[in-house]
Amino acid sequence: MTSSITSKMNKYKVIIFDWDGTLVDSTARIVDSMQMASTQVGMPRLTDHAIQQIIGLGLPEALRKLWPEITSIELEEMRSLYSANFSNHSKVHVDFFPTAHDFFEQLASLGYVLAVATGKTRRGLDEMLDGMSVRDIFTITRCADETTSKPDPHMLEEILTELELTSEQALMVGDTSFDLDMAKAINMDSVGMTHGAHESDILLASGAKALCHDLTELLGWIKENG
């Protein structure tokens, strides 16, 4: 299976991407949707920065981290309202970061398999894959509600198992410590994107081999090092 979908010339056979804040400029919409939900449920008001720091976790894990005293009923209300706000009610625009489509085409032409490992729900990711017409770009995707939330590396291990690859043959690209910590846990190389949720010093502390400020810079790094 591996030989039919990868190029032997590449150090990395698969590039695994986080979604929000890495490929898609959605950090502000996530924060807006969460602030709306917290107001609707009557949860204590948090800063936008505090909410930004939990992006990448599965939604239940994120809510418990933000509001440690949240009840099970409040959590379910928040989950439902947040999802509805993100999909239908927030007015904050969401799109791929610049050059994304050319970026995908060039990586595919170089023989890389592309994958996604995200804290989004399966329903949430599928909505975006279909709405942005990119479902066929990614060979495999994993979401937090069908496996274990980051920073546990389980979703990466599942991707590697399905592709019959080792961690040394994969590169994780993400914008949060949760992305990079799960890669580090299984000795997978990672690159941190600075245009997302977490600051550069946090990404470096989580073991990023490099920091890239946009997808054009990331493409150059992969061509040189991958």
How do the domains of the chain map onto residue ranges? 2-25+95-225, 27-89
Which residues are CB-neighbours of 48 under 8 A, at least 6 positions away?
31, 35
Residue 5 has pLDDT above 70, yes or no: no
> Of how many residues is the chain composed?
226
pLDDT band at 29 (very low <50, low <70, confident <90, very high): very high
Beta bridge partners, 118, equal 143
Domain 2-25+95-225 bears CATH identifier 3.40.50.1000: yes
Which H or E element spans position 66? helix 59-66
Residue 3 has pLDDT above 50, yes or no: no
Beta bridge partners, 24, equal 20, 96
For residue range 79-135, what is the model confidence (pLDDT) as tens digits? Answer: 999 999 999 999 999 999 999 999 999 999 999 999 999 999 999 999 999 999 999
Give the residue-averaged pLDDT of 72-80. 96
d(CA 116, CA 118): 6
Domain 27-89 CATH class label: mainly alpha
For residue range 168-221, what is the model confidence (pLDDT) as tens digits? Answer: 999 999 999 999 999 999 999 999 999 988 999 999 999 999 999 999 999 999
* Residues 64, 54 contacting (CB under 8 angstroms): no
DSSP 57: B
* Residues 41, 78 contacting (CB under 8 angstroms): yes
d(CA 59, CA 119): 7
Amino acid at 189: D
Integer CA distances (angstroms), 4 to 9, 77, 137, in order = 13, 45, 16
Indicate the burial class of 145 (C-beta count within 10 angstroms; 0-12, 13-18, 19 or more). Answer: middle
Q: 190: helix, coil or strand?
A: strand
Single pTM value for the model:
0.90
Residue 1 has pLDDT above 80, yes or no: no
For the chain, what is the mean pLDDT? 94
* Residues 31, 47 contacting (CB under 8 angstroms): no
